[in-house]
């Protein structure tokens, strides 16, 4: 793998990042790597100034910090690596206890590299790039709404439910996972579709290739909420549509050389572990 000679550092604005940043900068300096910029994740003006001259974007924070960095900077086509100072750390898998051991290895080119897809969601006004999922929700607790889903302009199904989650493979371990959806290997180019609390007992999650375009036609007589990566939201009115497709932009995520996705599922999601020992 390519050696890392320069980095941009993005850090969380809401977590205590200073000690971790100092440790990272010390390791970076000891390995002869150049720090081009250090930017807070909420400083949009500084983020917009970053270019593709660095070999790596080092993200210090939790999964939310990483997701935001990918949304803002994936167009640079620079790989991302996460240092976890959050809670779960599913995308930021460098732990503080192994920082001084793992970072030098990665700088020397000893790492795993994953290429993952992004979602592109559009209405008649705007287009958005997403890492995890788009959620349609009635906007109120235990209130049903109605919509239809089409694949390449062919009807999949009409639904009456509390809402809908459409996720990328990466997003299958986020909100989709909480709703009981399928766990998808993160490098798969697929969409997972799951109606929430459906009125039909036969409704089940559906996985389709991301090369297909999805269209959601909203048919309820009251407006609904659309939530993007749990971050941005807007109203969807009756008769309006959403289109969901694979983004033309992908992103690269770096992991330590011994990274194991299924070990991450076991240790962070407690996947497959018995409730009672």
Q: Which residue has the higher pLDDT, 23 or 203?
A: 23
Rounded mean pLDDT, 234-238: 91
Do residues 60 and 223 lie in contact, with contact meaning Cβ atoms separated by under 8 Å? no
pLDDT of residue 277: 66
Using one digit for the tens of pLDDT, what is the confidence trace for 98-129?
999 999 999 999 999 999 999 999 998 899 99
Do residues 253 and 59 lie in contact, with contact meaning Cβ atoms separated by under 8 Å? no
Q: What domains are there in the chain, each with its CATH number?
A: 6-109 (3.40.50.10330), 118-249 (2.60.200.30)
Read off the pLDDT band of 233 (50, 70, 90): very high
CA 37 to chain centre: 23
Q: How many residues does the chain have?
A: 277
Cα dihedral 26, 27, 31, 36 in deg (nearest 10): -70
Do residues 170 and 264 lie in contact, with contact meaning Cβ atoms separated by under 8 Å? no
Which of 167, 63, 174, 81 lies closest to 121, judged by CA? Answer: 167
Question: Can you give the pTM of this predicted structure?
Answer: 0.93
Q: Which listed residue (46, 51, 63, 212) is catalytic? A: 63
DSSP result, 124-189: SS-EEEESSEEEEE-SSTT--EEEEEEETTEEEEEEEESEEEEE-SGGGGTHHHHTT-----TT--
- How many CA atoms are closer than 13 Å to the CA of 80, on its beta-carbon side? 32
Active site residue 51: no
Q: Is 204 a residue whose pLDDT tops 80?
A: yes
Q: Is 25 a residue whose pLDDT tops 80?
A: yes
pLDDT of residue 275: 66
Q: Is 152 a residue whose pLDDT tops 90?
A: yes
Rounded mean pLDDT, 6-28: 96
Read off the pLDDT band of 1 (50, 70, 90): confident
Read off the pLDDT band of 139 (50, 70, 90): confident
Using one digit for the tens of pLDDT, what is the confidence trace for 66-89?
999 999 999 999 999 999 998 888
């Amino acid at each position: 793998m390519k050696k890392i000679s320069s980095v941009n550092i993005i850090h969380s604005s809401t977590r205590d990042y200073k000690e971790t940043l100092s440790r990272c900068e010390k390791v970076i300096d000891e390995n002869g790597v150049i720090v081009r910029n250090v930017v807070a994740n909420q400083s949009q003006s500084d983020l917009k100034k970053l270019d593709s001259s660095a070999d790596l974007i080092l993200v210090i924070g939790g999964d939310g910090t990483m997701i935001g960095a990918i949304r803002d900077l994936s167009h640079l086509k620079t790989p991302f690596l996460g240092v976890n100072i959050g809670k779960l750390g599913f995308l930021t898998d460098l732990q503080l206890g192994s920082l001084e051991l793992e970072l030098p290895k990665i700088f020397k080119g000893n790492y795993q590299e994953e290429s993952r897809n992004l979602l592109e969601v559009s209405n008649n006004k705007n287009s958005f790039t997403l890492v995890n999922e788009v959620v349609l929700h009635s906007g109120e607790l235990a209130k049903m709404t109605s919509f239809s889903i089409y694949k390449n302009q062919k009807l999949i199904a009409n639904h009456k439910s509390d809402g809908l989650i459409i996720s990328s493979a990466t997003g299958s371990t986020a909100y989709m996972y909480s709703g009981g959806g399928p766990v998808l290997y993160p490098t798969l180019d697929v969409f997972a579709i799951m109606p929430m609390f459906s009125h039909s007992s036969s409704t089940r999650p559906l996985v389709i290739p991301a090369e297909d375009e999805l269209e959601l036609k909203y048919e309820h007589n009251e407006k609904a909420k659309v939530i993007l990566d749990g971050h941005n939201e807007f109203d969807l009115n009756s008769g309006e549509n959403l289109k969901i497709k694979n983004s033309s932009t992908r992103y690269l995520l770096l992991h330590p050389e011994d990274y194991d996705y299924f070990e991450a599922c076991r240790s962070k999601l407690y996947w497959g572990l018995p409730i009672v020992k």
